[in-house]
Amino acid sequence: MTDTAANRLKRLEANLPLLARTLRGIEKEGLRVDERGQLSRRPHPAALGSALTNEHVTTDYSESLLELITGTHADAGSLLAELTDTHRHVYSVLDGELIWNQSMPATLPDEADIPIAWYGTSNTGMLKHVYRRGLAERYGKTMQCIAGVHYNYSLPDDIWEMLDTAPGSTQDRRSRGYIGLIRNFTRYSWLLMYLFGAAPALARDFLRGHDHPLQALDAGTLYLPHATSLRMSDLGYQNKAQSQLKLCYNDLETFLGRLYDAVTQPWPEYQKIGTHRNGEWIQLNTNVLQIENEYYSSIRPKRTTGRCERPITALAERGVQYVEVRCLDIDPYSPVGIDAATTRFMDAFLLFCAASDSPFFPASGYCQRSVDNFATVVKEGRKPGLMLDRDGQPIGLAQWGAELLDRIAPYAALYDAALGGDAYAQAVQAQRGKLADPGSTPSARLVAELKDSGASFLEYSLALSRKHAETLRAQPLPPEVAAAYRQAAQASLQEQRRIEQSDTEDFDTYVARYHAALKAPGSK
């Protein structure tokens, strides 16, 4: 007899304590800029510790692109408290600099002057650095300076045992469950872009004179009138190697098989570049993807890895551990880039994706319809009367969105029942107003405020970032918390030195060993 979403919902209702064991974490990016909004050229502050080994603060693509990382938390309150504390810690260190609180960058220098992140001289650190050199060769440095919020989400194993009654081990059920969640996320993530997209405009010079479909809002600002997230659009920027990837989310094995092909198959344009220039490494290899993390997607299945362990190998051997949602823009109205209502909605949305029926995609494992809906919403999501494609039939965005909120609401109620209060129900209810009034979405608010203020994107964003900096600096950390951050920074510097001193092979040998550690899925 076929299991139904209604039956799975009832089983969850009967096991509420399990939902209280949901874990969530955040990785929030933000460019360091000077007081004029110009990209900082300074090195990563030493007082923030080692970007290689500090678990709280690191860098992403650029030396100027901070990444603030939380641990995993059992509730939204403690999650946001840690993220806020880490921001306060960073601001206690920054000297005359701000964290740019927008996804689209501040005024950037010439490409050659955008500093690539540096992680020290160890083989591990150099691997991270050379990988980023490869990104510069393949995509340009400018595109790599776009920032976002990554939301990590996991359910306890007992819930997967409850949601999946098919034969298999706990690992099988967990992996099947997360892959099913990803299929539903792919179907419905356009809703997240409508509700939370906050990047409808950008500084004109970001596009560096390239052709684009954007309109002028003022002399220094470009936008699309109904866009929700230009960050998640192509911005007229295409990469043929990535665009030909059609990874399959029908099962973990096929997904890993196609990802393995991408990280092992050469790409002609990258072969022309080569791996070395003037005797220095400029990319790790000439394959479609240098490593697994180069695959750009809105959501990823994830598994923690050991040193020199490849993600494909870890996922194949131990299964999916959690999902990483990568499509959330920085909320420009929150000092830390995301608020509690958004995190609670994300929990309810992802639980809905996990527990709802999730039929397979076509035999290719790729759903063009869902990709097209997402692309439409990021560019035209607030367009009056906008229609999307649901299973081959046109449907209005507002109607479909309201129906989805009706389906998500019971999962919000489950979290309220498990954790107490009604904050989850309120988080879902707050989104209904955005469907009824597109002008209340973050993207519409930002465009309206740009127009009303007469400020350029740079001026407006700089003022907002200053305001958030003042808010965070006005609430210094308790002495014991500040001391813990300082101690973690010092310990990370010592750990980096230990790693550098423990290397026993040259970098070429290390790279070869790193590539050799990649096993084809299913191989022993």
Alpha-carbon separation of residue 379 from 86, 225, 374, 460, 493 (angstroms): 33, 9, 9, 22, 43
Angstrom distance (rounded) from CA 182 to CA 360: 11
Q: What is the mean pLDDT of residues 166-191?
A: 96
pLDDT in tens, 259-291: 999 999 999 999 999 999 999 999 999 999 999
Given a cut of 80, is residue 237 above it in pLDDT? Answer: no
pLDDT score at 1:
43
pLDDT in tens, 306-329: 877 899 999 999 999 999 999 999
- H or E stretch at 26: strand 23-33
pLDDT in tens, 43-83: 999 999 999 999 999 999 999 999 999 999 999 999 999 99
Sign of CA dihedral 422, 427, 430, 436: negative
pLDDT, mean over the chain = 95
Angstrom distance (rounded) from CA 462 to CA 210: 25
481 in a structural domain: yes
Q: What count of other Cβ atoms lies within 10 Å of the Cβ of residue 218? A: 16
Angstrom distance (rounded) from CA 397 to CA 403: 10
Burial (0-12, 13-18, 19+ Cβ within 10 Å), 363: exposed
pLDDT score at 211:
87
Beta strands 98-99; 149-154: pairing state: unpaired
pLDDT score at 366:
66
pLDDT score at 232:
96
Give the percent of the chain with pLDDT over 70. 98
Given a cut of 70, is residue 521 above it in pLDDT? Answer: yes
Angstrom distance (rounded) from CA 29 to CA 136: 18
CB-based contact 204:221 (threshold 8 Å): yes
Given a cut of 60, is residue 236 above it in pLDDT? Answer: no
The pTM for the full model equals 0.97
Angstrom distance (rounded) from CA 384 to CA 396: 10
123 in a structural domain: yes
pLDDT score at 388:
98
Question: Containing domain of residue 502, as a range?
Answer: 21-154+189-244+279-287+324-351+364-514
Q: What count of other Cβ atoms lies within 10 Å of the Cβ of residue 105? A: 27
Angstrom distance (rounded) from CA 438 to CA 253: 41
CB-based contact 262:288 (threshold 8 Å): yes
CB-based contact 164:177 (threshold 8 Å): yes
177 in a structural domain: no
pLDDT score at 395:
98
pLDDT in tens, 331-365: 999 999 999 999 999 999 999 999 999 999 987 65
Domain count, the chain: 1
Angstrom distance (rounded) from CA 50 to CA 143: 25
DSSP bridge partners of 62? 116
Q: Residue 3 — very low, low, confident or very high, per pLDDT cuts 50/70/90?
A: confident
Residues across the chain: 524
359 in a structural domain: no
316 in a structural domain: no
Q: What is the mean pLDDT of residues 180-208?
A: 96
171 in a structural domain: no
432 in a structural domain: yes
Structure tokens at 448: 């309206």
- Look at the block and give the residue holding tokens 């970098």: 507
Q: What is the mean pLDDT of residues 160-188?
A: 94
CB-based contact 198:331 (threshold 8 Å): yes
Domain at 73, CATH number = 3.30.590.20
Q: Residue 497 — very low, low, confident or very high, per pLDDT cuts 50/70/90?
A: very high
Residue with more model confidence, 296 or 132: 132
What is the chain's Cα-based Rg? Answer: 23
pLDDT score at 164:
87
pLDDT score at 432:
97
| Residues 6+ away with beta carbon under 8 Å from 184 | 352, 353, 354, 356, 358
487 in a structural domain: yes
